[in-house]
Chains A and B, each alone.
Chain A
């Protein structure tokens, strides 16, 4: 079947099987920042922002995402112009092994887009679906709170053309 997906601002047709999860389609199309973890919704490594909300792409059929904007980590910041959240993760040293970092950034971005001034408890709730196996959440929470407290509102054109990442 053919479905229309909008990934990082670019809309195009994708040929998928009904059983294909959004995770499989995105990785097949080169969005490798979407990690393939547990495949049952426990770890959150496959997070994407769908229609403004962070979701697990592994427990969703690709067809369910039709017509809703999808943002992957490839759509956030560039090597030369990091998104403020990415910059804060670097400054604070919140990257750890890096495997869950895209999911952390996406979860934080979805939160801050909705609520630019969350409490620390709200930040921790936003990260509740991301399972870090390295050290924990102290540094990521610190990085996100740094953005909340020092950078003010986000939202400076961080979504760029998906074609540039393929």
Chain B
């Protein structure tokens, strides 16, 4: 629980919520599902602003873009019928494996971004889909998820994440999530998500994201740029991804050593790319 929490607010307007969050005398933070914040025992939190009455939940699929309301639960995402089909179900698979059913029923997309777990399956999937984050403080600002994850508090302090969006492409593409965990229901130790867009036999766009190899989930930008615009070559993709993995210095923790994570990154990254490519061709 939060030991110094003295205020709970559930505003029904965005302006009311922002007014509460702008206060300087009482340390006030947004409350989404609470599955990370409530057990954090963070002693600095004095007031929470429950975002549940602000109509920030829901998924919309527009012609070119998908919009995930920040308060959409992971279970809503996992059971969304379009998400189950788009990009080989990358997002729904990631949402399903990154938390148990009990947590998915409450935890939200926006909260997942702020929690920023370093091996979060949903975050690597969203990075691979080129997701952007919309944050509202005094004004509305939209930035790349990758940029947001560099310093979440710098972007969201005093404000609210309202939405995550990503391109909803209608051209041939493939995606894959590959993860290593002690058991299928455990948190990932290392994971990788890949998204590949085809143009004939050419690789038009590649996205590769990795988790569990750095203090936060990362994009393998050098791998992406080396592969884009070329004819696909399985062996080349695997070699480049392996080279990238070998250059990492992952953190060690109770789940795995730095060395193990580096070796596994060199396994999951090529595998994710190869699976995404194979699926793209199957379209």
Q: Is the interface of A mostly helix, strand, loop or mixed?
A: loop
- B96 to chain A: which residues have CB within 8 Å? 125
Check if B100 sits within 8 Å of A19, measured CB to CB. Answer: no
CB neighbours of A61 from chain B (8 A): 8, 31, 34, 38, 48, 50
Pairwise interchain contact A107-B34, C-beta atoms closer than 8 A: no
Provide the residues of chain A in CB contact with B7, threshold 8 Å. 18
Interface presence of B205 (CB below 8 A): no
A21 to B3, CA, bound (A): 11
Chain A residues with CB below 8 A from B10, complex form? 63, 66
Once bound together, how far apart are the Cα atoms of A5 and B21, in whole Å? 26
A56–B103 CB distance below 8 A: yes
* Chain B residues near A125 (CB-CB < 8 A): 96, 101
Chain A residues near B75: list those with CB within 8 A: 53
Find out whether the CB atom of A21 lies under 8 angstroms from the CB atom of B38.
yes
In the complex, per-residue mask of B93-124: 1 if CB is within 8 Å of any chain A CB, else 0: 00010001111011000000000000000000
| A56–B106 CB distance below 8 A | yes
User: In the complex, what residues of B have CB within 8 A of residue A1's CB?
Assistant: 8
Check if B102 sits within 8 Å of A19, measured CB to CB: no
B5 interface contact, C-beta 8 A: yes
The answer on a CB contact under 8 Å between A59 and B5 is no
Q: Is A147 an interface residue (CB 8 A)?
A: no
Asked if residues B106 and A18 are in contact (CB atoms below 8 Å), the reply is no
A59 near B101 with CB under 8 A, answer: no
The answer for the CA separation of A106 and B76 in the assembled complex, in Å, is: 20
The contact of A54 among B6, B33, B105, by CB within 8 Å, is B105
Provide the bound-state CA to CA distance between A24 and B38, in Å.
Answer: 13
Chain B residues within 8 Å of A128, by CB: 100-102, 185
B50's partner among A39, A64, A107 (CB-CB below 8 A) is A64
A contact residues around B34 at 8 Å (CB):
59-61, 64
Report Cα–Cα, A21/B38, bound state, in Å: 8
Given the known interface contacts A54-B105, A61-B31, A64-B31, the answer about A44 and B100 at a Cβ–Cβ threshold of 8 Å is yes
Q: List the 10 closest pairs (A to B, CB-CB), nearest first.
A: A129-B102, A129-B100, A40-B39, A19-B5, A18-B8, A53-B105, A128-B100, A63-B8, A59-B35, A59-B38
Known: A41-B39, A59-B34. 15 other contacts (CB 8 A): A18-B6, A18-B48, A19-B6, A39-B39, A41-B35, A58-B38, A59-B33, A60-B33, A60-B34, A60-B35, A60-B38, A61-B8, A61-B31, A107-B101, A129-B102
B-to-A contact residues, CB < 8 Å: 1-8, 10, 31, 33-35, 38-39, 47-48, 50, 52, 75, 96, 100-103, 105-106, 185
